[in-house]
Chains A and B, each alone.
Chain A
Amino acid sequence: MSLDAGAPPIALDPERHAALARVWATPRGLWGFLTTVDAKEIGKRYIVTGLVFFVLGGLLAAAMRTQLARPESGLIDPDRYNQIFSMHGTTMMFLFAVPIMEAMAVYLTPLMVGARTMAFPRLNAFSYWIYLAGGVMLYAAFVLNIAPEAGWTAYAPLSGPQFSAGKRSDIWAQLITFTEVAGLAAAVSIAATILKMRAPGMTLARVPLFAWSMLITSFMVIVAMPAVMLASSFLISDRLIGTHFYNAAEGGSPLLYQHLFWFFGHPEVYIIFLPGLGMVSEITATFCRRSVFGYPVMVLALLTTGFLAFGLWVHHMFATGLPRLGDSFYTAASMTIALPAGVQIFCWIATMWDGRPRFGTPMLYVVGFIVTFVLGGLSGVMLASVPLDTQVHDTYFVVAHFHYVLIGGAVFPLLGAIHYWFPKITGRLPSELAGRWAFALIFSGFNLAFFPMHLVGLWGMPRRVYTYSAEMGWGGMNLLSTAGAYVLAAGVAVYLLNLIVAARRGPAAGPNPWGGGGLEWATSSPPPVYNFGMTPVVEGREPLWLGEELPVLDGLDERTREVLLTSVSQAKPTSREGSPDPSIWPFVTTLATSVLFVGSIFDEWWVVWGSLPVTACVIAWFWPKPSHSRQVKRRDSGIPGAIA
């Protein structure tokens, strides 16, 4: 399989390309920027915004580490420190981790399943805009000293009306509404794309593993996110109109908040890390020149993880004094989830063992992922035991655990994946040397920063403390952690600089620089605005590795935006549907919705009056455009599903 930098296999001849490109083009200038529905355009913006929030969250973490480097350091006062660690958690979990995984899916899913665009392009655009509005609101509040201060979990009654004065916890609760609406919108769009718009022949057994992980992540988002929306809506109504959901004196219960929050909270961390598994599978297959060993076992493991994730949220509440027998059930459930993870680890290593691994930078991140994530997963098994958890819960041992599984399990695969798909997204190759340096700094900095936290946690240092006294003996390890944090920050800086420089001056990357097997490598780099002029037919798991020729189907309309719909399991072509043109309504609806959300913090009547402009925007958005079947004027007989 030569590393052909020449013409991509699916290139249309020039005039058909020009015609189709004009149909699918995004208007230029600001109007185009605000109205685009091109999944690639939105995906790029989503990824860049996610990385910006990753850097902001990282700077907040650096501030925390600088404060904790020495005991009793008066660098940051407790109020500012509480805002900083709450902002760090909220930014990383709600503004970086979940959105950027969905952003990668928004860009890559259509390309990997052979579709021209996402299922609901305007909903995608709305998802990005409402996510951006939430991020802007949170950081505007941080500047105005109204940032959240009760942690990213914001337990009641500390975040309740009496103990969190002012509008800080309201801003947190409203940010949840912003990011969850964004997450749900993107999840519905991703799930529909994977289920209904796969290339003909891509049966469920030939769906790429990244697409599988995104499908399961979307189902988890759909079921889990309403829980945190309820928890934060109950919290904000407690704080603004005096309801009693978490007021123990009037029948409410602070534990209701924890149940609702963690019923979302634990699936959330799997929502963050399942896409990471999908990315690892893709990178491993390409760099070992072998399809991933045990594909059905991998898919089954993803499904099991997705399903089990909803059955073990109480392991976050072992210290709240719930009945011990109930806790033991959650011990068993929490430990069971180690089985699918362990099986997947075996399959990746088996793929390396049986294939011929080449250690490009993405592959380094896969090795780093395995080394780091397995350690984090095992410390997770330790935390699953009720007696042990009562000792290490809410200490720095837990901080070390979840950084190992989140940074190790999701950020390493993400950094590898961005490096891996960067040539496809920008058409330019990032430098390997800078990539290796970045990996070395990130890997060693990460371990230097977070491994000592295991020890400090065992030595009794609680979580979320703005300082500690000298005689506790935690000073040395904390200093080590701070040094490691700076090295990690340097590594991330090198990584991002490498991409920024490569985006302008990197060598031109052909359609398939790494010799990958997926459909996304069948288009040019960067792909044309319509992704696939002719729809590929899939006959195996890695279509580009099957032989010298790629079978394609022609005939999709070239005068209007048309996409092919296929059946769910066998991906047999069933019908053609029009894809919406660029529209300003997602952006305008976001403005109206943001005004409603932010206004309702300051006066609850905004919910009533603010919903009128939102309704008007939604009506204008969904007001039917000239229908596709009239535009195409093909004979309407044989409409699937009609009764007559």
Chain B
Amino acid sequence: MAEPHLPERQSPLEPEYNPGSHGNFEHGVDVILSETRLGSILQLAAWPGEEKRLIEVIRKVTGLALPDGAGGGVNNGARAVFGFAPGKFTVVDEAEGLAQAFAGLITPAIGTLTDLSHGRTAIRIAGPKAEWVMAKFFAIDFALPAFPLGAGRSTNHHDIFAQIQRSGADQFDIYVFRSFARSFWKALCHASEEVGYEVQ
């Protein structure tokens, strides 16, 4: 059932989204901030014991093979998946309609699918000081050995819950609740001023 073409979604960041260089950029831009505006953000959950079957469905639909282990994940540019809780995975796609691709495959025997494409906002931070800026918010270890490429983490900054995937050696994708996204974005920009940042 192909959806008819849908209009563009409104970004929650809009009035505060100011492309260009900011902060202490005269000394170099050390992080780049952007909203990735993904078409699909899904939560997939498997009943205990059904995780392997769910992972197999994810591979079939997205072509992404999840590595073993808690918080494991993988990212191929357009699509990404990572575990964020026992038996639970976030699967994203640049394109809309990923939920329909899973329709019928996540059977009641396996688990559930919840579409959060509107409810979560994806923010990317990239650059040599990405770890430094992230450490201002989250009490988790962002060093590469502790937080490997592709891996996912669930954490929070006070009231703001976040899922984070490392999508590059010095790049993180942060998923926050849409209603909090603007506040978090403002705080992220503020914290990035020290190192100089560019909004793309």
Q: Is B one of A's binding partners?
A: no
